[in-house]
Structure 1
Amino acid sequence: MTEPVTDDDGERSLWQALRRAGEALVDDVWPFFAVSAAWLALAMLGLLLGRLHVGLSASLLLLLPLTWGLGRMAAVTVRYRRARFRDLAAGATVRWWAKVALALAQVVVGLVAWLNIELALATGRTALVLAAVASANVALAVAASAVTIWPLLLDPSRDGRAVRELLWLGVAVLVLRPARVLATLAVGVVFAAVSLQTVVAALLLVPLGVLLAAHVVLPIADAVETPPP
């Protein structure tokens, strides 16, 4: 395995992370482009099958291994500067059950929050509106924690670490740098919205969003674990 490259600039602002993410995408455009194209094709197929029968929407779960592989490739660009297709397999297989459990938990929380909000909008009852506000805050917290936790779980330099440690580290990153994490989440939402408009944009913005999260979170986590003397 290639020796990791030590970053001497420590934590990065959102703009610096975005610039590094863009450079990584340009350097490894073909691997990221190929994985992104496969991800989009599988997503469109899953949505098409879901329109034919609701139960077939479960095929969208097949996106998880590709998403993890893409996240691993992004993390590798922080550590080793170049991503390869073999990183896709590593991202899909390392900590398989822990990642499945975490992904399902996040999906369930998101669905419950969405249903609460829909119910509140439909009925207008005060109690349900309050529940919807609470659900929205929980959903935001889950989304923000996903921004910090997934890059850590997919970081090749932390493969030997316990999942519990990485979950707590992700929470620490969120608590210590909430503005930067929320800004990263907001940029990701914008990328997702633009990606829905055209496939060409999605081919670039899907990997760029994953790269951005890795280039924001991993340097912060490194700084949290190795504070200056």
Structure 2
Amino acid sequence: MIPARYAASRFPGKLMQDLAGKPVIVRTYEAARDTGLFDAVIVVTDSEIIAEAVQRAGGQVVMSQEVHETGSDRLAEAVVDIDTDIVVNVQGDEPFTEAESLEKLIRVFREDPDQQVDLASLMTEINDPEDIANPNTVKVITDKDGFALYFSRAPIPYQRAEEPRAVYFKHKGVYAFRKQALLDFRRLPMLPLEAVEKIEAIRFLEYGKKLKMVQTRISGIEIDTPEDLERAKAAWT
């Protein structure tokens, strides 16, 4: 499922910006569909403009009936009446979505027969100091088994001494949920840490959900700003 909101705060209308002849949201939908991993790929939106673009491309759309603060809330509303075990959330601004990383997420649940994992998400190592310091880059730290301990827009962990060198991971906003975890998210109110950081993944941690992080070597380009869009255009082949 692909949550798609037209009125993005940092780059309004970004999902309808042209990327090599098609809107960004259509490129993202096609990338998810073309992985061949899913029984269905559904765009969930509150925008008639986005809905029409996706439908013209042959895609399936569910229209949101309520106003939502997060993509997870939007998907939770849409998935209530859908018969599924696992829901994979691909952000609408991820046109470089690819099969390798998504397959790793799905594998987490295949290898969890006792259903200890509530949801899984992707992270990729970052080394650029500007990227590490950038508040638009969400960082994540994990325990020894790869479960998320915390997410922050600040550089975490803090490099206190020269050694050992800190390793930084960027959180990519791609999730795989057990359906119940997604439904729980919708009914649980936002708590202070999520409100301060403006990172929806923190809500799962604040309520004790088990969030498994999966490392991927593929970073792609998330389109958060006009500059990102220009980078995506230059990288598109």
TM interval, shorter chain, is under 0.3
Mark the structure with the bigger radius of gyration.
1
Report the TM-score, using the length of structure 1 for normalisation.
0.25
The structure carrying a bigger helix percent of its residues is 1
The structure carrying a bigger strand percent of its residues is 2
Report the TM-score, using the length of structure 2 for normalisation.
0.25
